[in-house]
Structures are given as structure tokens and as C-alpha cells.
Amino acid sequence: MIKHLHLWLVLVILILGFDVSAQRKNKDVSPMDVTQLSEDIALKAESTLIEAEKEMILENYSKAYDLFQVALGLNPRNPTIHFKIAEVLSKNGESRQAVSYIKKAIELDKKNKYFHVLAAEIYKSISEYDQALKEYEYLVDNFPGNNSYLFDIAIIYQFQGKNEKALATYERAEQIFGLNEFVLREKQKIYLKERNYEALISDWDELIAAYPDNKDYTIELCEFLLQRNRVDEAKLRLEQLLREDPDNMKAELLLSQISLRSGDLVKAIKLAENTLADSAFNYKAKFQLLNALVTLAVDSGKVEKVKDLSISLANQYTDQYEVQAFVGDLLYKMGEESAAVDYYLAALKIEQSDFKVWQNILNIEMRLEAYDRVVQHADAAMEYFPNQAILYFFSGTANQMLGMYQEAVNVLETGKKFALEENLIVLFQGQLGDSYNSLKMYEKSETAYETALQYDPKNSHVLNNYSYFLSLRSTNLEKALKMSTRLVELYPEEPTFLDTHGWVLYTLGEYEKALVFLEKAASLKQDGTIIEHLGDVLFRLGRVDEAVEKWERASKLDDASENIDKKISDRKLYE
């Protein structure tokens, strides 16, 4: 209905633009008078204009343009047709081509307001701002009730960098329309650009005085003052605001930030508690505040003070990934690893694309020896990050620790294709060496170990396990001795490595030498395997009572062999 009304109004304007003879037949009109149109031409023009306007409404601008040109050919001095052609060209993105038509329309009818409005818009669109200004000024000066175009004039001055003229125009508009938030915002931009902060604050105070019930204006001004490091001014205004409006959470939030700036964590937390607990308050602002609180707490060594606030916010916004991951990070830093995993997993239910979160979960679960969960989460992470080698390493290592050696080999062999850095290659080959050894696929195990040592000849994990497994099989013992010797040279105080070297010497029958290293290892670590090995070497040296005493100690510790009880009861060595 509205479209039809619009079309009817346009057509009335267009038709009235013709000096038609169809409404009153005047036989005295000269056929040479170009201001007069025959009835047939007038009817054809009217029909053409109707079709042109339909096409324009349907946004078929090319068709509309062609039809308006036909109408123009029928009456080239009709200003409205020139106007419509300019309009259709402008709508079709051809503003430069529209200029000549709108100029002609104004030339033929300077008193038509809409012609000047379109002219101003066209000139603006092609960056001819001086011409646009002339049109807007003409509208303001010659058409009563069109002072709103002062805003357009001011914006153009502003765009041209003519800030004084822009300010003067805005002030002229304010005298007519009164205090206006739009004007304030635009004047703020100018004052900020010119660093005229006092003028900006003065204008803001006018707005605050005009709208005393709108406390957000005071909040915005205080935020600006804080940005300019005018903390004391902001604090005074905020404290006054809280006296007027004690429940204003935004004011409490800003005062909390001020306390943070001064390093007063206790006061900042106290001010922040209500804000963070209010579910109606802006989440983003609360999270930013929490982030600032935690940063200050970490720097001052008072992390425990913000833990409860952080957990409370995470529990309040269970659908917000950012805060769930944030609390996970905080708890991880605090050493509360199991709790950290819970929040990390909550974050992953919302968003799975943060690799760091997956990696933190896996690191924690490996440290907690939760190998079944490592496999579960590493495999889940692979769905999102199929080319991340470290995920395959986590899964392979965890499978190995669970005794799932074939599964470990499968995933490690797949993952090593993505291991491009030398340190990752060494890790994969070392784990493959261990897994193949457990599967008694010794040739593949040794190949993997050798590959690892080619990249890192000093790798402690490979030197230790490779030499130890060779000694257990009494295979290539000279090579095992060379590696274990290198190992204890590099790590002379590491009990596990001392035990390995001692056991290689034991396997070679060098019991006295083995005793030295095994005694040192036992003095550094109470471990069932080490103490049992010490008992074995003592037995070989004929010190049976001492051997049995060591075996008894080993039986009470983890990692002793399955023969330990038999050794004790029979007072004999079983290997």
C-alpha cells in the first residue's frame, strides 16, 4: 500500500511538471511552442513515467534509466525528469554521471528542496565536499524548518579537518535544538583530536547537568578521566555518584579498578565482589576486572585471595569459554591440577579449538599418571588437530604405560610422520624403542634407538633404556657398557642411571665395580629395583646375609621383581 502511495505521489509531481494541453484543449496554441505538448505525447510520457518509476522501485535501475530518457526526449525541459535520472544514476552507483542531470534540474527549478537534497548527497558521494556544503547551506538559508542540515554541514567540516568551523556549526545547531548527545559525541572527537580535554569535560558536565538521572554519562566521563590518568578526579566523581546511587555497580567497578592501579588488592577485591556476583552486570566488564585482579594478585604473590572470586565467576557463566579456561589456567598455576582439569574440560565443551587447553590437560594427566584419560583426551584432540605430533606422542606413551604396546606402536608410527623437529623425532623414536622392546621386536627396537641417538647422542632416556634392555638380554654388552658409562658421566648423581650402569657391569661379571654404583644409587633413592639389584650383586660377592637383608628391604618397596619373596625364603639368587 505504501509503495503504491509513493508511486502515485511521484507521478503527480512528474505529471504536474509538464505543460500539457490534454487537460484543456487550446486550439490557439502554436504547434511550434515547445512548452506545449500534444495530448498524444503527454499520454505517452505519462505511461513511460509510470513504467520508469515501477522499474526504479524494483531496483531495475538500467531499465528505469532508459525509460526516464525516453520521457526526457518527450519533454527535455522538465526539471523533475532530470531529477529522476540523477536519482536513478545515484542509486546505481553512477553518481558522477548524475551531476549534470541534477545541475540541470536545479537550473530549471531552483526552488525545489528535494533537488538540492539529492545534489548534496551526490556531491558527498563523489567527495566534492565544497559543492555539498553549498547545497546544504542553501537548504538551511532558503527553506525554513531545515536546520537539521546543520549537522551535515558540521560533519563535512569535520571530515575536511576544519574543526573550528565544525564546532561553530555544532554550537549553532545546539542553540536551535538544545543539548544533543550526537553533537556531544562529535565535538568529543574534535576535542580529543585537538587534545582540548578541558573543553571536552566541560561539555560532558553540561550533558550530566541536563540529564541528572542518566548516571551513565558520569560513568563515561570517569572512564575518560581514567584513560587520561586523572585518577583523583575520577575517584571524586565516582564516590559522589555512589552517594547518590549506592547500588551503581558500574561505579563500584571503576573504583575497584582505581584500587587495582594503586596496588590495593584487598580493597579492589572488596569493591569487586558485588559487581562480579551480579548476574545482570556485563560479563565482558566483569571478566576484564577479574583478569586485572588476578594479574595484580600474581604479581604480589596473593593468588589465593582471588581464587574464590574466579571460581564464582566461572560457575556463574558456565557457557563462557573464556572464563572457564582462565580459571583452569589459574588453578594450574596454583598447583591445583585436578581442579584445573575440570575447568579446562568445561571450556572444551564450549569451544574445542584452543590447542593450549588440550595440551595443559594432557600434561596434567600424564603427571598424575591418569594414563587412561590421557589416551581418551589425546585421541579426542586428534579429531581437531590431526597434524599435531605431540598428541600422538601423549597417546602412544600413555598406551605404553598401560601395557598396550601394540596400540602404542600403532599411534607412534602414525604420529612420527608429523614430527618435523629434531627433539620430537627423538621423543618418538625413543618411545618406539621402548614399545618394540616390550613386544620383543628387538631389531625394530634397536633401529628406533639408533635413529634417536643419531639426532641426540646424549639423550638420557635412550641411553638408559637401550643399555638396560641390552643388559637384560645379555646382548651386545660392550655397546651397553659404552652407553651406560656415557650416561653416568653426564648424570653422576641420578640414581636410575647409576643403577643401569651398575646392572650392565653386573651382567658383565664385574661385581666389585657394579657394587660401587649400586650402593651410590641406593643411597640416593629408596627404590625396590635398585635395592634388589644391590642385593643381587652382594650375593654374587658371597655376602649372602647382606644380600637377603637388601632383598627384604626391596620387598617392602615398589618395583621389586616377582622372584623377590623366593629369593628371601630360599636365600638364593633367581634371575
- pLDDT at site 280: 67
- pLDDT at site 45: 75
C-alpha 322: how far from chain center: 9
The C-alpha atoms of residue 79 and residue 87 are separated, in whole angstroms, by 12
- pLDDT at site 253: 78
Other Cβ atoms closer than 10 A to 264 = 15
Q: Measured in Å, how far apart are the chain's first and last C-alpha atoms?
A: 100
Q: Shortest CA distance to 365 belongs to which of 403, 397, 321?
A: 397
- pLDDT at site 283: 86
- pLDDT at site 210: 85
Cβ contact 402:383 at 8 Å: no
> What are the residues whose beta carbons fall under 8 Å from the beta carbon of 299, sequence distance 6 or more?
none
* pLDDT tens digit sequence for 303-316: 777 898 899 999 99
The C-alpha atoms of residue 240 and residue 215 are separated, in whole angstroms, by 11
The C-alpha atoms of residue 510 and residue 399 are separated, in whole angstroms, by 36
* pLDDT tens digit sequence for 399-451: 999 999 999 999 999 999 999 999 999 999 999 999 999 999 999 999 999 99
- pLDDT at site 55: 81
C-alpha cell at 489: 658421566
The C-alpha atoms of residue 351 and residue 354 are separated, in whole angstroms, by 7
Domain ranges of the chain: 1-22+34-146, 399-456
- pLDDT at site 6: 43
Four-residue CA torsion sign, 464, 469, 472, 475: negative
Of 2.102.10.10, 3.30.1490.100, 3.40.50.300, 1.25.40.10, the CATH number of 1-22+34-146 is 1.25.40.10
- pLDDT at site 37: 56
> What are the residues whose beta carbons fall under 8 Å from the beta carbon of 504, sequence distance 6 or more?
467, 468, 470, 471, 477, 480, 481, 484
Enumerate residue ranges in the chain where pLDDT < 50.
Answer: 1-35
**Burial class of residue 417 (count of CB atoms within 10 Å of its CB; 0-12, 13-18, 19+):** exposed
- pLDDT at site 535: 94
